[in-house]
Chains A and B, each alone.
Chain A
Amino acid sequence: MIEEIIIYSTISGGVYALLALGFTLIYGVSGVVNLAHGSFYMLGAYMFYVLGPKVLELPPILAVILAVVFVGVVSSILYRLTIHPVLGDEVGVMVVTVCLALIFQQLMLLVFGPPNVPVAPLIEGSVPIWGVKVTYARILAFAISLVLFASLWIFISKSKIGKAMRAVSQDREVAMLMGINTEKLYMLAMATSSMLAAVAGIFISGSTSGVAGAWIWMYPLALSFSIVILGGLGSIKGSLIGGFIIGYAEQTVIIVAPEGGQIVSVVPFTVMVLVLLLRPKGLFGKRIEMED
């Protein structure tokens, strides 16, 4: 039982951290609380279904890349059209992103219908680790999220664009005076954040339930915001640690108390509220800045 908890929680913690990273990135750079984050997760899964082995029969790797790029392009266009005009108005941004999420939900219902569509895992088969059967798909999801997480961290702390992102998150006006094109940067951050969500969508739905439906956007959104609040909005380190905390809490409840499986969605929020009672700004609450 202990082995199960450790292995499953570590795997889901890593993937959840990836999911939350996108949410925290776009908030840290542009101050947008993107409630459509779960929709990009859903859109990724659906696009993978369309391009993948069942419909268009592209090779899986190509399908993943195309789906993720598609989500990135769509999200940056949507950012420019809808979120940009209301930037700076907190309530307005939230309403707009909620509207986007509902529009995606209804579009998916219109195009694909209410039944779930299958999302195939990239590789089949499983391997026992410490006597616990773990599918290759889960291991792959974990590995990819760690690689992406590490590369994004390096990108933000070392590259020129990453430095520009940090500068904008510290002080937008001064960054503009230094010749940084903030509009482009916001679009880039939005595209990156939604692409991370799409990757998480493809790998999480492929490795766990194996299906995608029009309502799957809610739980990832809830997860990512509880992780992000737990770790502190805008903090990359916080989303990593928060992802693992939530992953451990959730899997422990699922494995220790099977009849509590129905209320597993309560776990992240309870942990979040408890942490907020002690630390109102989360564990590492600040905008993306010096984290090296």
Chain B
Amino acid sequence: MVKSYIRRAYSSFTAHVFDIPPRLMAFLFLLVLLVIPVAGLNPYYLSVMIYANVLAIFAASWDLLVGRTGQISLGHALFFGIGGYSTALLFKFFGLPTWVTIPIALLIGSSVAVLIGFPCLRVKGPYLALVTMAFPIILHSIVKWTTLSHIFEGEYGIRRLPAFFASLPIRQQRIAEYYLTLILFFAAAVIIYKVANSKTGIVFVSILDDELASKACGINVTKYKLMSLIISGLFGTLAGCLQAHLLKVSNPSMFLLTWSFTPIIVTFLGGIGTIYGPLVGAYIYYILDKYFLAIQLPRLCKYFGVTLPGEFEYAKLLIFTLIVLVLVIKWPRGIARFTTDKLEDLEEARDLDERGPRIWKRYERKKK
């Protein structure tokens, strides 16, 4: 009785108060992000937001390739590391400024996408996933190799890269970096979203739905797969370049499996196949990781008089992975998609086909 009243009240509330069109929501999201530095945020949180922007670009590029085109890649760290290392090597050997090295790095990244596209796109499904996983591991060993340490500087990586806006004082520099990454993040989001919803994007989804049928419709499947890989690789490389210049170092850890799995985790947090899901997911990831687990949880424990042991560092990733595991099993639609559905619809998704990509249905698992 009470429950039904509450549900009715809730549904009328969500239907009439929160009936916000997605475009307005995106605008509000950007507006909030724009005023954050003005609100005088602690520099620590600001740097967390900067890395969240970079991760958002990276994860959105993964989502275009996997969530929209269905080419499962477990090795997106390849582009991340290629970006970091090519901008670092160009700086090291030619002393070029940052605004020259990053575009060249983007070119290199897309050529690498074409190169690995030839062996990779011939194989399908689990073969593709495992083959893509191999490339970053190969490059990780090569850049760590001591024989080549005069080029890649081994384990420590290429250090002392130029930072963005190095002439400004530290606080202004953080804010400038934040706006730079935010603008790039927004540009990348708009481009990827527009590509995903253009005619080309529809072809991508058709390849995901049924490759054979798309082939039968006269679509040059390989061309579109390669196109998706190139766009995805381009933005992955951009994220790598940004990360390298923000940390002022490119080291072999950029090729590690961790960087291949982070975009996957982020995308699943937000909702796969929606482009905007990973953007939100990256923020959720960093807020969970760097705010709740790193700051609020120890504070809470202190309040209750519990001191956290030194092993808590390990437990942090454990907690995080458990959250993701439960999310993937119990809530495969992701947080962002769930929220938009709640905001726009009453109880069930009313016009799933009309509102968004059809592939949402593909990731729906029926309850037993």
Residues of A within 8 A of B (CB): 27, 33, 82, 85-86, 88-92, 94-96, 98-100, 102-103, 106-107, 109-110, 113, 218, 222, 225-226, 228-229, 233, 259-260, 262-263, 265-266, 269-270, 272-273, 276-277, 280-282
Q: Are B261 and A98 in contact (CB under 8 A)?
A: yes
Q: Are A262 and B141 in contact (CB under 8 A)?
A: yes
Q: Are A86 and B329 in contact (CB under 8 A)?
A: yes
B74 within 8 A of A: yes
List 5 A-B pairs, Cβ < 8 Å.
Answer: A89-B365, A106-B315, A266-B138, A276-B119, A281-B123
Give the chain B neighbours of A86 by CB distance below 8 A.
328-329, 332, 365
Contacting residue for A269 out of B137, B265, B268, B329, CB 8 A:
B137
Contacting residue for A233 out of B119, B126, B325, CB 8 A:
B126
A233 and B356 CA atoms in complex are apart in Å by 35
Binary A-proximity of B266-291 (CB < 8 A = 1, otherwise 0): 00100010000000000000000000
Q: Are A90 and B126 in contact (CB under 8 A)?
A: yes
Interface of chain B residues 136 through 192 with chain A (CB within 8 A): 137-138, 141-142, 144-147
Top 3 closest pairs, chain A to chain B, by CB: A106-B318, A269-B134, A109-B314
Least CB distance from A86 to B in Å reads: 6
Q: Interface extent on B, as a size class?
A: 35 or more
Residues of B within 8 A of A (CB): 66, 72, 74, 119, 122-127, 129-131, 133-135, 137-138, 141-142, 144-147, 257, 261, 264-265, 268, 272, 311, 314-315, 317-318, 321-322, 324-325, 328-330, 332, 363, 365
- Chain A residue with Cβ nearest B265: A95
Given contacts A86-B365, A110-B311, A273-B131, contact A92 B318 (CB under 8 A): no
- Chain A residue with Cβ nearest B148: A263
Give the chain B neighbours of A281 by CB distance below 8 A.
123, 127
Give the chain B neighbours of A218 by CB distance below 8 A.
257
Q: Interface majority SS on B: helix, strand, loop or mixed?
A: helix
Q: Are A95 and B264 in contact (CB under 8 A)?
A: yes
Q: Are B363 and A90 in contact (CB under 8 A)?
A: no
Give the chain A neighbours of B272 by CB distance below 8 A.
91
Q: Are A276 and B144 in contact (CB under 8 A)?
A: no
Least CB distance from B305 to A in Å reads: 22
Least CB distance from B64 to A in Å reads: 14
Give the chain A neighbours of B365 by CB distance below 8 A.
85-86, 88-89, 92
Give the chain A neighbours of B314 by CB distance below 8 A.
106, 109-110
Q: Are A89 and B257 in contact (CB under 8 A)?
A: no
A86 and B365 CA atoms in complex are apart in Å by 8
A262 and B328 CA atoms in complex are apart in Å by 37
Q: Are B325 and A226 in contact (CB under 8 A)?
A: no
- Chain B residue with Cβ nearest A264: B141
Q: Are A103 and B321 in contact (CB under 8 A)?
A: yes
Give the chain B neighbours of A94 by CB distance below 8 A.
72, 74, 129, 264
A82 and B125 CA atoms in complex are apart in Å by 21
Give the chain B neighbours of A102 by CB distance below 8 A.
261, 317-318, 321
- Chain A residue with Cβ nearest B258: A102
Give the chain B neighbours of A33 by CB distance below 8 A.
126, 129-130
A88 and B362 CA atoms in complex are apart in Å by 11
Q: Are B329 and A103 in contact (CB under 8 A)?
A: no
Give the chain A neighbours of B66 by CB distance below 8 A.
91
- Chain A residue with Cβ nearest B120: A276
A33 and B138 CA atoms in complex are apart in Å by 21
- Chain B residue with Cβ nearest A91: B72
Q: Are B311 and A276 in contact (CB under 8 A)?
A: no
A272 and B75 CA atoms in complex are apart in Å by 15
Q: Are A262 and B144 in contact (CB under 8 A)?
A: yes
Residue of B119, B268, B325, B330 with highest tally of chain A CB at under 10 A: B325
A171 and B312 CA atoms in complex are apart in Å by 47
A281 and B123 CA atoms in complex are apart in Å by 7
Contacting residue for A99 out of B119, B144, B147, B328, CB 8 A:
B328
Q: Are B130 and A96 in contact (CB under 8 A)?
A: no
A95 and B133 CA atoms in complex are apart in Å by 13
Give the chain A neighbours of B363 by CB distance below 8 A.
89, 92
Q: Are B125 and A265 in contact (CB under 8 A)?
A: no
Q: Are A96 and B119 in contact (CB under 8 A)?
A: no
Contacting residue for A226 out of B134, B141, B324, CB 8 A:
B134
Q: Are B125 and A90 in contact (CB under 8 A)?
A: yes
Give the chain B neighbours of A272 by CB distance below 8 A.
131, 134
Give the chain B neighbours of A280 by CB distance below 8 A.
122-124, 127
Give the chain B neighbours of A226 by CB distance below 8 A.
130, 134
Least CB distance from B205 to A in Å reads: 15
